[in-house]
Amino acid sequence: MSQFLTSETIVVALVLVATLVAIVARRRRLPYTVSLVLMGLFIAIGTPWKYQATPDLILAIFVPPLVFEAAFQIDLRELRENLALILTLAVPGVLLTTLLVGGIAAFGAHLPVGPAMVFGAVIAATDPVAVVSLFRALGVPRKLAVTVEGESLFNDGTAIVVFRIALAAVMTDTFDPVMGVYDFLLVSVGGIGVGLVLGWIIAQLLVRLDDRLIESSLTTVLAFGAYLAAEYFDVSGVLAVVVAGLVCGNVGMTHTQPSTKIMIFNLWEYLAFLSNSVVFLLIGLNVELALLWENLGAIAVAVMAVVGSRAIVVYGLSAVTRLLHRGRSISSSWRHVLFWGGLRGAISLALALSLPATLPGREELQAMTFGVVLFTLLAQGTTIQYLLDRLGLTERSPHRVAREARIGRLFAAQAGLRRLEQLYQEGLLPDEMWIGLRDGYRQDQMQVTYEMQELFREHAELEEEMLFQARREALKAERGALWDALRRDLLSDPTYEELSTEIDYRLEALDLIYSTRHEPRPADGEVER
């Protein structure tokens, strides 16, 4: 068999195994990513088949879709609320983690300081895929999910930059702190710049196009192209993809047709699922149990270092953020989730695999990395749901679920009715059939509306939530109308800018008002402001 066909067979086999694991995990309600790692381990132990993942394969092929998808679907307004904390955790947090983990590893595992710091950087990036997918399934507050995801998005890029600098220092045996800071800024800002430029260009094209296939292709080119372009200029590819995804998702999608949006989001959901599946399977496949066994002591030190430093970083830096931002901070329960949800995954694995063969203690560092990744996935990943339950973050009252179901039914009925009306107007439905079908739908709608009113009567807080939702929708529609007016030359650019900024402020204000009305007060021991 040719090399090409062999590679294709491996890819198909990996996707097949991942899909089978997904089927079992969903039916048995098991954590999907943990199941994939276990399956990878099982294959690695039970069969002679070995597949060595190269760092380039993970970083250039699998990481861009994962990062792009996450950034693409994040609403910048949601991100902005906890941006200070996210950036604090993602930049100073990564630097602090590197130093703390490196220091503890050097002291506890008797590693030379240089390689210990490289290990600190390897393990500094969090990978909350397992946690975030659980958040979605359990209905955890959206802002918490955005905070966890936002931190991970930015710290991936930061950790890779720190890793490069630390590794270069060890390999050349020289470290100039000033040059280190300069390199860090250059690579980070360069990556952000590439992401901004490419993201903006593609976003402008998306705004002007109305073709779902072309628009989907453009987002694909952007996700992989941003990584490649940044790497070509020796700046951070991951940061470039993050920024490109944010810009494209927030600017490029504002006026996209709903059907195109659905297609693009589905495409990215699928590509992220595929990448995620293969990456976690590869983690299992690449773990050498014998190597782990030989380095059990060092792994134990590494696990303690990672968990301990995560606690210091999350609790310490969130306290600092609170001081710096006039008392605004996240609740203590959110901090616990950020701490215990700081899993490690694909990025750490890729960085560990990319360690040069000549690095002192390379195998030990790889074993420590795999050990930490396995621990966080198997111990933290499987217990995070328990923590969320204990903290009361997964509670969805039956009446909220009932309201959601009724809104869903109303939406579906309205779409059905619109389609029928279209068919009727096109002459494809005879009069009496249209009237019969229309009345059937109207009766369904009336029944659901009545049920909603009854729900509102019993649970008046739902009515208030609906008011906020409706207002939010209306403001978004107002912004869309302004855009249409601009395109039809009814508005000039400055007027459009002024009015749309006003609406953006109103949307932000609405979210603020909602959160101040719905977050428990300090007296309840939850939110500190």
Partner 1 sequence: MRRIVCATRGGEAGRRTQEYAISLAKERGVRLDFLCVFDPGFAQDLSKELAAAVYDEQRWLGRALLGIARARAKKEGVHAGVEVRFGPVLETIEAYLRQVDASALVIGAPRVDSALTMFKPNRMRGFAERVAEHTGVEVIVVTPPDE
State the DSSP code for 377: I
Query: What tokens were used for 368?
Result: 């420590």
Pick 438 or 506: Cβ nearer partner 1 = 506
Pick 347 or 462: Cβ nearer partner 1 = 462
Q: Does residue number 513 form part of the binding site for partner 1 (CB under 8 A)?
A: yes
Q: Does residue number 454 form part of the binding site for partner 1 (CB under 8 A)?
A: no
Q: Least CB distance from residue 502 to partner 1, whole Å? A: 7
Pick 308 or 520: Cβ nearer partner 1 = 520
- The window from 84-92, 142-150, 289-297, 513-521 that contacts partner 1 (CB under 8 A) reads 513-521
Q: Does residue number 506 form part of the binding site for partner 1 (CB under 8 A)?
A: yes
Closest-CA residue to 21 (of 46, 8, 38, 9): 38
Query: What tokens were used for 273?
Result: 């699922």
Please count the residues of the chain.
529
Q: Does residue number 521 form part of the binding site for partner 1 (CB under 8 A)?
A: yes
For 88-120, give one letter per residue: b (16+ CB within 10 A) or e: bbbbebbbbbbbbbbbbbbebbebeebbbbbbb
Pick 212 or 328: Cβ nearer partner 1 = 328
Q: Does residue number 453 form part of the binding site for partner 1 (CB under 8 A)?
A: no
Pick 289 or 509: Cβ nearer partner 1 = 509
Question: Coil, strand or helix: which one is 256?
Answer: coil
Other C-beta atoms within 10 Å of 348: how many? 28
The one among 389, 516, 522, 525 contacting partner 1 by CB under 8 A: 516
Pick 81 or 364: Cβ nearer partner 1 = 81
Binding mask 244-273 for partner 1 (x = CB under 8 A): ------------------------------
The one among 270, 390, 502, 522 contacting partner 1 by CB under 8 A: 502
The one among 424, 456, 483, 496 contacting partner 1 by CB under 8 A: 456
CA distance 96 to 340: 17
- The window from 118-126, 143-151, 185-193, 451-459 that contacts partner 1 (CB under 8 A) reads 451-459
Closest-CA residue to 98 (of 363, 297, 299, 309): 309
- The window from 86-94, 141-149, 483-491, 514-522 that contacts partner 1 (CB under 8 A) reads 514-522
Residues 291-350 that bind partner 1 (CB under 8 A): 326, 328
What single-letter amino acid sits at 249? G
CA distance 23 to 20: 5
Pick 28 or 326: Cβ nearer partner 1 = 326
Q: Does residue number 498 form part of the binding site for partner 1 (CB under 8 A)?
A: no
Closest-CA residue to 243 (of 265, 221, 227, 264): 227
Pick 110 or 529: Cβ nearer partner 1 = 529
Q: Does residue number 54 form part of the binding site for partner 1 (CB under 8 A)?
A: no
Q: Least CB distance from residue 473 to partner 1, whole Å? A: 13
CA distance 157 to 193: 13
* Angle in degrees, CA 454, 457, 462, rounded to 5: 100
Binding mask 401-440 for partner 1 (x = CB under 8 A): ----------------------------------------
CA distance 249 to 242: 11
Taking 3-state DSSP, the helix, strand and coil percentages for the chain, each rounded to the nearest 5, stand at: 80, 0, 20
- State the Cα torsion 197-199-204-209 to the nearest 10°: 140
Q: Does residue number 520 form part of the binding site for partner 1 (CB under 8 A)?
A: yes
Q: Does residue number 509 form part of the binding site for partner 1 (CB under 8 A)?
A: yes
Q: Does residue number 142 form part of the binding site for partner 1 (CB under 8 A)?
A: no
The one among 136, 419, 457, 476 contacting partner 1 by CB under 8 A: 457
Closest-CA residue to 466 (of 479, 446, 482, 449): 449
Q: Least CB distance from residue 505 to partner 1, whole Å? A: 4
Residues 378-407 that bind partner 1 (CB under 8 A): none
Q: Does residue number 189 form part of the binding site for partner 1 (CB under 8 A)?
A: no
Distances (CA, A) of 351 to 19, 370, 511: 26, 11, 39
Binding mask 458-497 for partner 1 (x = CB under 8 A): -xxx-xx--xx--x--------------------------
Task: Count the site residues for partner 1 by CB under 8 A.
Answer: 27
Torsion sign across C-alpha atoms 113, 119, 120, 122: positive
Q: Least CB distance from residue 521 to partner 1, whole Å? A: 6
Query: What tokens were used for 478?
Result: 């107002």
Pick 310 or 479: Cβ nearer partner 1 = 479
Pick 322 or 438: Cβ nearer partner 1 = 322
CA distance 236 to 191: 4
CA distance 332 to 353: 36
State the DSSP code for 490: S
Pick 304 or 510: Cβ nearer partner 1 = 510
CA distance 220 to 398: 40
CA distance 96 to 357: 27
Query: What tokens were used for 6?
Result: 């062999």
Q: Which residues bind partner 1 (CB under 8 A)?
A: 326, 328, 456-457, 459-461, 463-464, 467-468, 471, 502, 505-506, 508-510, 512-513, 516-518, 520-521, 523, 529
